[in-house]
């Protein structure tokens, strides 16, 4: 709506052409506003992939077998590759790739709050694959399907294929832990308890509060936040119900939409890894929590960037 | 009756988790032995560090268990002879080329 509210001719012309199926291929095809919206989208995308790597990497140590450790190490490798794909495209748009990885402060990265949290056991690792990577596929397959930017559409073919593998890894292990019963099952339930609302929040502002979306106007994505949240729940809620793991959401028979069983959004206690369902928040308060970043933010960035007193003496490559 | 042909046909439905290409067309299955209702499969992986080993083994066991009259499935993973790209079938090569994997 921002773009349409101030309809200069070039802007409206681009939007019209995009609506008629025009694919943007290079900077000359863009308006400055289109370019800014694309840069924001790619930065979030790249940073999310990048920060999943140190989070998952620390949890590879909890893998119960050598084959499963190889599998999650390969996932870390894939995620770094996906980050590079987004950053490489940003480079073509004039953003310095070195700066993206090494030049920013920890709190300047644009990944979701979920990747500021520690993954402390194998159950949390596989729920991350089952929930966070499902969120990644939900978001990126929508971009792949709808984006008006040709280079990204082509690049996402490889990303989507690899994310499907991560998801399968996560879901098959979730089933296995549920079936094992006992402590494994309890750890799985504990992981789901904090990671389900974490992923729900990841999809951002609900549609009735969303003021405008350049991403939708320029067809950089197709679905709204609420639609994406529904898509994610339509896969995740039945998965958990099928293995007897409780989630705070259910399918409403009348509307055939998934409904959350807690006040959304609400407060999170990162030390206890617990959602405080009795403390509802405004979205401004959520944004403050996100901006303050979570407990692992500095550690993860330090792992990626190196540190002055560390092994490589603060060298940036 | 369980036959090696039926087991091979079942294995041909097991695909690589990333590409729509069967483990048979990838040249990963070396031999199939049938003894009554028991099946033993000699196979390899494209690398020792293959991240999909568990997934592929699960899929193989499931596919072969569904073959009529099969009672037990043993998968014997071997590293000799080693897998090389030459083991990919002509059909496999076409599928990989279609998906941008150069070979």
Among residues A166, A161, A104, A156, the alpha carbon closest in space to that of A134 is found at A166
d(CA A286, CA B30): 56
Average pLDDT over residues A48-73: 94
Q: Look up tokens 């994406």; give the residue.
A: A228
d(CA B8, CA A230): 41
Q: What is the DSSP letter of B21?
A: -
Residue B61 is encoded by which pair of tokens?
């066991």
| pLDDT one-digit tens code per residue, A182-196 | 999 999 999 999 999
pLDDT classification of A211: cutoffs 50, 70, 90:
low
Residue A139 lies in a domain: yes
> What pLDDT, on a 0 to 100 scale, did the predictor assign at position B13?
97
B51: contact with A, CB 8 A cutoff: yes
Contact A205, A283 (CB under 8 A): yes
> What pLDDT, on a 0 to 100 scale, did the predictor assign at position B59?
94
Contact A259, A250 (CB under 8 A): yes
> What pLDDT, on a 0 to 100 scale, did the predictor assign at position A182?
97
- From the list B17, B18, B53, the residue facing A67 with the nearest CB is B53
d(CA A170, CA A134): 9
pLDDT classification of B51: cutoffs 50, 70, 90:
confident
Question: B52–A172: do the CB atoms touch at under 8 Å?
Answer: no
Among residues A177, A180, A160, the alpha carbon closest in space to that of A240 is found at A177
User: Quick check: helix, strand or coil at residue A265?
Assistant: coil
Residue A317 lies in a domain: no
Helix (H), strand (E) at residue B74: strand B72-77
Average pLDDT over residues A247-253: 97
- Give the Cα-Cα-Cα angle A70, A71, A73 (nearest 5 degrees): 65
Residue A95 lies in a domain: yes
Number of Cβ within 10 Å of residue A214's Cβ equals: 17
| pLDDT one-digit tens code per residue, A272-304 | 999 999 999 999 999 999 999 999 999 999 889
Contact A53, A83 (CB under 8 A): yes
Domain-by-domain residue ranges, chain B?
A: 4-98
State yes or no: pLDDT of B55 exceeds 80: yes
d(CA A119, CA A102): 24
Which residues in chain B are contacts of A169 at CB distance < 8 A?
55
d(CA A280, CA A277): 7
* Residue from B54, B56, B59 to probe the interface with A (highest A Cβ count within 10 Å): B54
User: Quick check: helix, strand or coil at residue A149?
Assistant: strand
Residue A180 lies in a domain: yes
Question: B51–A161: do the CB atoms touch at under 8 Å?
Answer: no
User: Quick check: helix, strand or coil at residue A270?
Assistant: coil
Question: B51–A73: do the CB atoms touch at under 8 Å?
Answer: yes
Which residues in chain B are contacts of A161 at CB distance < 8 A?
18-19
Most distant CA pair in chain B: distance in Å? 42
State yes or no: pLDDT of A317 exceeds 50: no
Nearest-Cα distance to chain B for A102, in Å, is 29
Phi, psi of A107 (to 5 degrees): -85, 5
Among residues A166, A197, A186, the alpha carbon closest in space to that of A56 is found at A166
Helix (H), strand (E) at residue A147: none
pLDDT classification of A314: cutoffs 50, 70, 90:
low
> What pLDDT, on a 0 to 100 scale, did the predictor assign at position A7?
54
> What pLDDT, on a 0 to 100 scale, did the predictor assign at position A3?
46
Number of Cβ within 10 Å of residue A88's Cβ equals: 14
- Give the Cα-Cα-Cα angle A158, A163, A168 (nearest 5 degrees): 135
Residue A314 lies in a domain: no
- Would you give the end-to-end CA distance of chain B in angstroms? 39
> What pLDDT, on a 0 to 100 scale, did the predictor assign at position A277?
98
Residues with Cβ < 8 Å from B28, sequence gap 6 or more? B43, B44, B45, B46, B83, B87
Residue of B nearest to A69 (CA): B51
Provide the number of structural domains found in chain A: 1
> What pLDDT, on a 0 to 100 scale, did the predictor assign at position A1?
46
Phi, psi of A173 (to 5 degrees): -70, -35
The parent domain of residue A76 ranges over: 2-305
Nearest-Cα distance to chain A for B52, in Å, is 6
The CATH code that applies to domain B4-98 is 3.30.300.130
Average pLDDT over residues A153-159: 91
Which residues in chain B are contacts of A73 at CB distance < 8 A?
51
State yes or no: pLDDT of A60 exceeds 70: yes
State yes or no: pLDDT of A234 exceeds 80: yes
Distances from the Cα of A285 to the Cα of A1, A3, A121, angstroms: 25, 28, 29
Alpha helical stretches, state H, chain B: 4-11, 53-65, 90-98
Question: A70–B50: do the CB atoms touch at under 8 Å?
Answer: yes
| Parallel/antiparallel/unpaired status of strands A257-260 and A249-252 | antiparallel
Average pLDDT over residues B83-90: 95
pLDDT classification of A205: cutoffs 50, 70, 90:
very high
d(CA A50, CA A101): 9
Mean pLDDT of chain A: 93
The interface pTM score, or ipTM, of the predicted complex is 0.72
State yes or no: pLDDT of A307 exceeds 80: no
The pTM score is: 0.88
> What pLDDT, on a 0 to 100 scale, did the predictor assign at position A5?
47
Distances from the Cα of B25 to the Cα of A191, A255, B73, angstroms: 39, 46, 21
Residue A235 lies in a domain: yes
Q: What is the DSSP letter of A237?
A: H
A26: contact with B, CB 8 A cutoff: no
Contact B59, B6 (CB under 8 A): no
Contact A105, A95 (CB under 8 A): no
Q: Give me the CATH number covering residue A229.
A: 1.20.1260.10
| Parallel/antiparallel/unpaired status of strands B38-43 and B72-77 | parallel
State yes or no: pLDDT of A50 exceeds 70: yes
Residues with Cβ < 8 Å from A279, sequence gap 6 or more? A266, A267
Q: What is the DSSP letter of A28?
A: G
């Amino acid at each position: 709506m921002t773009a349409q509210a101030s309809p200069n001719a070039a802007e409206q012309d681009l939007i019209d052409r995009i609506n008629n199926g025009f694919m943007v291929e290079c900077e000359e095809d863009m308006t400055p506003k289109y370019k800014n919206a694309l840069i924001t989208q790619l930065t979030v995308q790249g940073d999310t992939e990048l920060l999943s790597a140190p989070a998952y990497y620390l949890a590879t140590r909890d893998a119960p077998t050598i084959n499963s450790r190889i599998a999650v190490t390969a996932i870390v490798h894939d995620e770094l590759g996906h980050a590079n794909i987004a950053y490489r495209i940003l480079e073509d748009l004039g953003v310095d790739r070195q700066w993206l990885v090494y030049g920013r402060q920890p709190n300047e990265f644009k990944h979701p709050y979920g990747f500021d949290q520690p993954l402390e056991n194998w159950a949390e690792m596989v729920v991350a694959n089952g929930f966070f990577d499902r969120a990644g596929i939900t978001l990126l397959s929508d971009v792949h399907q709808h984006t008006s930017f040709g280079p990204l559409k082509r690049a996402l073919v490889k990303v989507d294929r690899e994310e499907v593998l991560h998801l399968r890894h996560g879901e098959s292990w979730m089933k296995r832990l549920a079936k094992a019963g006992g402590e494994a099952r309890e750890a799985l339930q504990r992981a789901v308890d904090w990671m389900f609302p974490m992923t729900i929040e990841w999809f951002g502002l609900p549609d009735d509060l969303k003021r405008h979306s350049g991403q939708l106007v320029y067809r950089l994505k197709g679905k709204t936040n609420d639609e994406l949240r529904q898509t994610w729940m339509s896969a995740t809620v039945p998965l958990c119900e099928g293995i007897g793991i409780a989630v705070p959401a259910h399918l409403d028979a009348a509307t055939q939409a998934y409904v959350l069983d807690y006040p959304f959004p609400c407060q999170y206690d990162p030390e206890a890894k617990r959602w405080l369902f009795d403390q509802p928040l405004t979205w401004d308060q959520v944004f403050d929590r996100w901006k303050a970043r979570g407990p692992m933010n500095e550690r993860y960035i330090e792992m990626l960037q190196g540190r002055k007193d560390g092994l490589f003496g603060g060298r940036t490559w | 009756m369980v036959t090696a042909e039926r087991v091979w046909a079942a294995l041909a439905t097991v695909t690589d988790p990333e590409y729509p290409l069967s483990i048979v067309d990838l040249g990963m299955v070396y031999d199939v032995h049938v003894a009554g209702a028991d099946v033993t499969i000699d196979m390899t992986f494209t690398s020792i560090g293959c991240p999909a080993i568990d997934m592929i083994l699960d899929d193989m066991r499931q596919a072969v268990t569904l073959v009529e009259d099969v009672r037990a499935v043993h998968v014997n993973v071997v590293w000799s002879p080693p897998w090389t790209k030459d083991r990919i079938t002509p059909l496999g090569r076409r599928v990989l080329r279609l998906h941008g994997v150069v070979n």
